[in-house]
Amino acid sequence: MKKVDFINKDNLKIARENVGMTTFFVSKKLTSSKNDLVLSWESGESLPTWRQTIKLSKIYSVSELVFFSNNLIKRNKAIPDYRISQGVKDGERVKKLVNFVIRRQEWLEHKLKDDGKKNKLQGSGKDLRQPNQLALFIKEKLGIDLEEIKKISGYDARRKALKYLIERAENHDIFIGKTVSYHNIEVGEMRGLFVSNDYCPFIVLNRRDSLSAQIFSLVHELAHLFRKTEAISNSLEFRKLNNELSNEEVFCNRVAVELLLPKDDFSETYYNKNDIDGLSEIYKVSTLAIFYRLKDLNKIRIKDSDDIEKEIKKESEENLKRKKKKKGGNHTNNMKDSNGGLFNRVVSKYYFENKIGYTEASSLLNFSVENL
């Protein structure tokens, strides 16, 4: 196979880094050879074949024409990574997700700019210094009524509570999506992501996480949005017990706690494990979040604290294992969930108004637009 005559090695590198892959990882996707071909191309030591450049364009999700252009492609902005105890491979998968979100934002911004629809809430709470102040501000701005959440009952209560919160955010032009299944991002790698944009701020939740954890993560990421502090997060701990946990993460976790579990709601002197289980059903957050909140308020007896925490953590691990086993499902429904309702509606709106074609709409949605 004939090699190309010229390649823009800088664009090769930027396109790879934008999806968070190493040169050796990409090389293994292209050939069974142990040589790092991609590194040799980026350094200018050798040139790829036409077939290899086409494969690279698919891996990087860019047009192969950018490899032959003298104009540098745009480098993705760096999103602050507040995750704890993560490895290189974890970072590659999350970077691929970030790139996926940014490409969607670029398309959305181009369309929404014409309509002059800037998001007015992003950064509007950055001057509030106390978590309880920001929690109240978010509730007021989004119209969140905790009593409405507490009234939701039944088998699917947590799913309905999450839907309630997502709808409140989407009603104010905040895009909420979930991780894409083929990115294979585990809960320990990432629980939430916020990427700012003046026109289309985007929050992503990990679809593999429990619904109660997704509820907490959503409010946590909303705190980042109102403070306009971009973030990749994987911890739900609001007490700074881990030195790796940043002050920004602790603050946003505390905002979530203040909004979802206001301290005035807990009037009993002490609570036991049965009480915690009951409160988890009422507030739709995890038993671990309830436990930490009560412990923080000194409403767990010291002699019972360790045993309760061990029991809850064991139950949480077992629940996540059961959820992890549930795989598959309809591709279209999964992508609708990953895209988020607001993104699906915006794309379909432009399609049905004949502002974009079928191919472009279906490519953006990752399923046929006619299935909406």
Going by C-alpha positions, the residue among 232, 163, 142, 145 that lies closest to residue 195 is 232
For residue 47, what are the CA distances in angstroms to 63, 70, 104, 233, 357? Answer: 18, 16, 31, 39, 36
Q: Sketch the domain layout of the chain as residue ranges.
A: 9-68, 88-325, 331-371
Going by C-alpha positions, the residue among 204, 208, 212 that lies closest to residue 157 is 212
Looking at the structure, give the CATH architecture of the domain made up of residues 9-68: Orthogonal Bundle (1.10)
Asked if 192 and 112 count as a contact pair (C-beta separation under 8 A), the reply is: no
Going by C-alpha positions, the residue among 188, 160, 166 that lies closest to residue 178 is 166
How far apart, in whole angstroms, are the C-alpha atoms of residue 98 and residue 91?
10
Q: What amino acid occupies position 292? A: Y
Q: Whole-model pTM?
A: 0.83
Q: Tell me the β-bridge partners of 202.
A: 175, 195
Q: According to the model, what pLDDT value does residue 222 have?
A: 98
Tens-digit pLDDT string for the chain (372 aa)? 688 888 988 888 888 877 767 888 888 888 877 788 889 988 989 888 888 888 888 888 788 888 888 888 877 776 767 777 665 455 678 888 888 898 899 899 988 887 777 899 999 999 999 999 999 999 999 999 999 999 999 989 999 999 999 999 999 999 999 998 878 888 888 999 999 999 999 999 999 999 999 999 999 999 999 999 999 888 877 766 666 678 899 999 999 999 999 999 999 999 999 999 999 999 999 999 999 999 999 999 999 999 999 999 898 888 777 766 665 568 888 899 999 999 999 999 999 999 999 999 998 998 999 888
- What DSSP designation does 74 have? P
For residue 346, what are the CA distances in angstroms to 113, 177, 264, 360? Answer: 13, 13, 40, 13
- What DSSP designation does 20 have? T
Structure tokens at 227: 């403070």
Q: According to the model, what pLDDT value does residue 284 have?
A: 96
Q: Which residues contact 149 (CB under 8 A, 6 or more apart)?
A: 161, 164, 165, 283, 284
- Counting other chains too, the contacts that 69-78 makes at CB distance below 8 Å and 24 or more residues apart are 69/8, 69/11, 70/8, 72/8, 72/10, 72/11, 72/14, 73/11, 73/14, 73/15, 74/14, 75/14, 75/17, 75/18, 76/17, 76/18, 76/102, 77/102
How far apart, in whole angstroms, are the C-alpha atoms of residue 371 and residue 361?
11
